[in-house]
Amino acid sequence: MPLSGFPEYLPAERLAEQYVLDVIRRTFELHGFASIETRAVEPIERLVGSGEDADKEIYGVHRLAARSDERGGSDAELGLHFDLTVPFARYVVENAGKLAFPFRRYQIQKVWRGERPQEGRYREFTQADIDIVDAGELSPHFEAEVPLVVAEIFRQLPIGDFRIQVNNRKIPEGFYLGIGLTDVVGTLRIVDKLDKIGPDKVAALLVEAGATPEQAKQCLALAGIRTEDLSFVEQVRALGVQHPTLDEGLAALAAVIGTGLDLAPGTLVADLRIARGLDYYTGTVYETQLVGHESYGSVCSGGRYDSLATDGRTTYPGVGISIGVSRLLGLVIGRWGLTATRSTPTVVLVALTDEDGRGDALRTASALRARGIATEVAPRADRFGKQIRYADRRGIPYVWFPGAAGASDEVKDIRSGDQVAVDAATWAPPAEDLTPGLVRPP
């Protein structure tokens, strides 16, 4: 019985997932990020401390044999981590003496959240994170770097157009303070519903929360600003609000968008309505949607955090971004039907004339594997039609026939039907057949 929120894929879909993970890993490493893995559990106290009402999402972990009065006793209560940033912050502090700063790491792991599952929302899912953390001060140029790495990954995947929306929390914060609204978080939360409930209802909620109609109108005006270039600065200025925090935010966002314009035009969008992500973000925040699937939710988000990690003497500010691998796959596999070109890594099935030929077949397979060609030997010496069907069912592209009595071996591409005489010591498939690829059904 499947458990809701704990997805499990069939082999072909898992191969598609691995393909995506391979692209992610290769690109992270290409940009010089080093891999780490942190334990699955953290003391609950640490997990709760970072997020407001994160506690209701946390899965607790304890020994079944532990009596209830032991839980929370001398041993700290443990919970499964709900993201990779909080454990990473702990890891940085613990290992600060052995790490070289600025420290760049990537981390691809499962995380758990105890929320009601829906399409694209799971209780167990995979995130792929990069973060850059420094000791004391973090240079702002890193805030432009991390989303561009993600853009490079997404461009390699068959997911269509995407937009990485960028904002800086200091912009709404300074703006709200500048017009006299002091409940920054509450205002953000309401404005964030804009896409879902529309401007009229947002305005109504803001007024209900204590804003004047004029303030509500100003908030909506700010939230409506979205540009692919630096003109958002002018548009905000035109609203006539003054506050030093607003100035800081505009300068910081302009720097990020400017770098994006220079290096990867069209991928970063300044969008002054987005504010989401966990609440430890202090400046730049990112959120990513696939064009045409905006309502599916963000498939990648992150931001800058100034004081998530601290040992009391030194703080370690960082900036990071997290690809929601499971959510992304939920869309492209679940909704689009994307899958792998075959359900097994096997490139070649070595056919068997009879059981006496198994020894030779195993030697043929070894010769092919020695050159990196994934090979398996037919399970039974069925008639060739069945052996070909064995390959066909699995999407294995080639069947290898042993040559009879001194004749040369032959390999057949069962997609085209082409069959040629070959030598196991030298034959190789075209590069595109070496590993499973991705296919999207018509």
Partner RNA sequence: GUGGGCGUAGCUCAGCAGGUAGAGCAUCGCGUUGUGGUCGCGAGGGUCGCGGGUUCAAGCCCCGUCGCUCACCCCA
Q: Tell me the two tokens of residue 281.
A: 């973000």
**CA distances (Å), origin 244, targets 99, 173, 180, 248, 303:** 35, 10, 14, 6, 21
Return the number of the residue (88 or 135) whose C-beta is nearest RNA. Answer: 88
Q: Tell me how far, at minimum, the Cβ of 313 lies from RNA, in Å.
A: 29
Among the residue ranges 1-9, 34-42, 70-78, 428-436, the one whose residues contact RNA (CB under 7 A): 1-9
- For residues 322 and 127, the answer to whether their CB atoms sit within 8 Å is yes
Per-residue binder mask for RNA (CB under 7 A), 95-134, x = binder: ------------------x-xxxxxxxxx-x-x-------
Please give the torsion angle defined by the CA atoms of residues 245, 249, 252 and 256, in that order, rounded to the nearest 10 degrees: 170
d(CA 199, CA 361): 69
Q: Between 88 and 122, whose beta carbon lies closer to RNA? A: 122
| Alpha helices, DSSP H, located in 209-353 | 213-223, 231-237, 244-263, 325-329
Asked if the peptide bond before residue 442 counts as cis, ω within 30 degrees of 0, the response is no
- Determine phi and psi for 45, rounding to 5 degrees: -55, -40
The DSSP code for 333 is I
Q: Which two tokens stand for residue 153?
A: 């990954």
Considering only 94-102, 140-148, 253-261, 352-360, which stretch makes contact with RNA by CB under 7 A? 352-360
Is 360 one of the binding residues for RNA (CB under 7 A)?
A: no
Task: Restricting to residues 373-412, name those near RNA by CB under 7 A.
Answer: 381, 383-389, 391-393, 399, 401, 410, 412
* Candidate list 27, 50, 167, 322; residue touching RNA; CB under 7 A: 322
Q: What are phi and psi of 309, to 5 degrees?
A: -115, 125
Which residue in the set 96, 353, 437, 438 belongs to the binding site for RNA (CB under 7 A)? 353
Between 44 and 150, name the residue whose CB sits nearer to RNA: 150
Using omega within 30 degrees of 0 as the cis cutoff, is the peptide bond preceding 265 cis? no
- Comparison of 315 and 387: residue with beta carbon closer to RNA: 387
Nearer to RNA, 193 or 440 (CB): 193
Site string for RNA, 263-302 (x = CB under 7 A): -------------xxxx-------xx--------xxxxx-
**Could you give the 3-state DSSP secondary structure of residue 183?**
coil
Judging by DSSP bridges, how do beta strands 268-271 and 162-168 pair with one another?
A: parallel
Residues from 35 through 94 that contact RNA (CB under 7 A): 57, 83
Binding flag, residue 343, RNA (CB under 7 A): no
> Does 5 sit near RNA (CB under 7 A)?
yes
- Rounded Cα–Cα distance for residues 319 and 198 (Å): 31
Question: 368 near 399, Cβ under 8 Å?
Answer: no
Point out which span in 22-30, 61-69, 102-110, 319-327 binds RNA (CB under 7 A): 319-327
Of 137 and 183, CB closest to RNA: 183
Q: Are strands 34-35 and 103-112 parallel, antiparallel or unpaired?
A: parallel
The residue type of 245 is T
Amino acid type, 400: W
Contact 331, 299 (CB under 8 A): yes
In the list 351, 365, 368, 424, the residue contacting RNA (rule: CB under 7 A) is 351
Minimal distance in Å, beta carbon 199 to RNA? 16
List, in order, residues 6 or more apart from 99 with CB less than 8 Å away: 92
Q: According to CB under 7 A, which residues from 186 to 225 bind RNA? A: 189, 193, 196
Strand 315-324 relative to strand 41-43, pairing: unpaired
27 in contact with RNA (CB under 7 A): no
C-beta of 118 vs 231, nearer to RNA: 118
Applying CB under 7 A, what is the total number of residues that bind RNA?
61
Among 166, 236, 352, 368, binds RNA (CB under 7 A): 352
Q: Strand pairing partners for 127?
A: 109, 324
Q: Is 346 in the site for RNA (CB under 7 A)?
A: no
Residues that bind RNA (CB under 7 A): 1-5, 57, 83, 113, 115-123, 125, 127, 189, 193, 196, 276-279, 287-288, 297-301, 322, 324, 326-328, 351-354, 381, 383-389, 391-393, 399, 401, 410, 412, 414-415, 417, 419
